[in-house]
Amino acid sequence: MGTYLNKICQTPNLDELAKNSLIFNKAFTSVSSCSPSRAAILTGIPSHQNGMYGLHQGVHHFNSLSNINSLPKILKEHAIRTGIIGKKHVGPSKVYPFDYAQTEENNSILQVGRNITHIKLLTREFLNTTGDQPFFLYVAFHDPHRCGHTNPKYGEFCQRFGNGEEGMGTIPDWTPIHYQWDEITPPYFIQDTEAARRDIAAQYITMSRLDQGVGLVIQELENAGHLNDTLIIFSSDNGIPFPNARTNFYDPGIAEPMFISSPFHKERRNRITNSLASHLDIVPTLLDWYGINHSDLTVREKEKFNLTGKSLLPLLIKEPDNKSEEAIFGSHNLHEVTMYYPMRMIRTQRYKLIHNLNYQSSFPIDQDFYLSPSFQDLLNHTKAHQPTFWFKSLKAYYNRPEWELYDLKLDPAEVNNLALKGSMQDTFEKLRNKLWQWQKDTKDPWICAPHAVLEDKGDFKNNPTCFDLNNDQWTK
């Protein structure tokens, strides 16, 4: 989008929203996978703690733990009406009990996630039936996700859905914007080939459709008389479905757009913050907005826990004087049910440390990305021993060490792993200890993996202990 200096993809509505918002330059998801990310957004706790270890739909069938508290549940208890329009992709329903729900569970996902006219009308219905009651509305567009593996007739990103061509239907409020592939310069983490450029151009079409949808939703908010009393947060769930991005903890996989627009905080509108922000900060931010104390939220057997995120509202007033000690964390377990590749991550302003727990296995590839033109282009050129025009090899992408440490200032592309460099051991240990403490604070069942077993019941209930497996000698 233009706000983030993309000169090709047209997003005038999002750019206008950004002018009335604080713009986050360093906002990140805590997990680069759809259902786990959405569960983290709605609970404020990481996937290893809320139980949404992988995708929710179909054979994957992951669900949050039944006793987890979520934002819709908390708000409901405080007489705040909740609504969701679009892609839900989390469960079970008793953990995420929205008062108003128009999702893939009771509609076509194409209609509630990509038909911006339908989304506009559902937004109007929610607002008109809410009256003067405080509300929380979660509008979850399906654009610009891929759909080539599920609805190939509509194109790789469903960019033909509703475009007026024969058999494609029509979305009345959408004016499709088409992009010339040869005018696109791929970002550094996508290979510079015709196939990849065409893939990006297709996604840009749906990004512009999302943009027009955002404009419609904001217009409905204004028509209902709530534009000047409503906090608006715009973000995404994970990195784009391209090489080195979604399902990864490299920055292209976790970096997210984020705008926060408040009618009562105008000090920093159209300003940029470089403070680190996490999706785990969204629940604390909204609880702060609604004036709700979260100290009594419960998890697993009603044990007390504190959200590790922070409210972002103070950033709307002032930039922190010192950001050197800021850190955000990530926890990934699976995407699809066959993709067991748990990772943990800490990112500071300067460094990133990634712990690949299943490093003895190849990094897995999900179904829709495998079929994508971008990945097939990489795969076919690799098989033919031809240049891929990518900044990595597939061999290096598949085969990762247990620890990855990157200096993001000197190596923003994250290609020079410093984990074994002698001069970086103090930094490595400092980051590893901070990551371990976060795992401990969030009761991570994987905290001892992969070289030890956690015992935390019976004799060890009050003294959880990691017992060594002595398996280092067989690691690759």
Q: Which residues are annotated as catalytic?
A: 34
What does the alpha-carbon distance between residue 393 and residue 395 come to, in Å, rounded to a whole number? 5
Give which of 92, 148, 140, 98 is closest to 119, Cα–Cα.
Answer: 140
Q: Where are the beta strands (DSSP E) in 59-163?
A: 81-86, 100-103, 135-140
Q: Are strands 100-103 and 81-86 parallel, antiparallel or unpaired?
A: parallel
Q: Which two tokens stand for residue 314?
A: 């103070």
Q: Cβ-count burial of 5 within 10 angstroms (0-12 exposed, 13-18 middle, 19+ buried)? A: exposed
Sequence-distant (≥ 6) Cβ neighbours of residue 424 within 8 angstroms:
405, 418
Closest CA to 241 of 358, 149, 144: 144
Cα(364)–Cα(66) distance, integer angstroms: 29
Cis peptide before 134 (omega within 30 of 0): no
Q: CB-based contacts of 345: which residues, under 8 Å, 6+ apart?
A: 249, 254, 329, 330, 331, 332, 352, 353, 354, 355, 435
Query: What is the distance of C-alpha 352 from the center of its chain?
Result: 18
Give the Cα separation of 411 and 409 in Å (integer): 6
Side by side, the strands of the sheet bearing 232-234 are 232-234, 259-261, 22-24, 271-273
At residue 71, what are phi and psi to the nearest 5 degrees? -60, -50
Q: Which two tokens stand for residue 66?
A: 């039944």
CB 298 within 8 Å of CB 432:
no
How many angstroms separate the most distant Cα atoms in the chain? 68
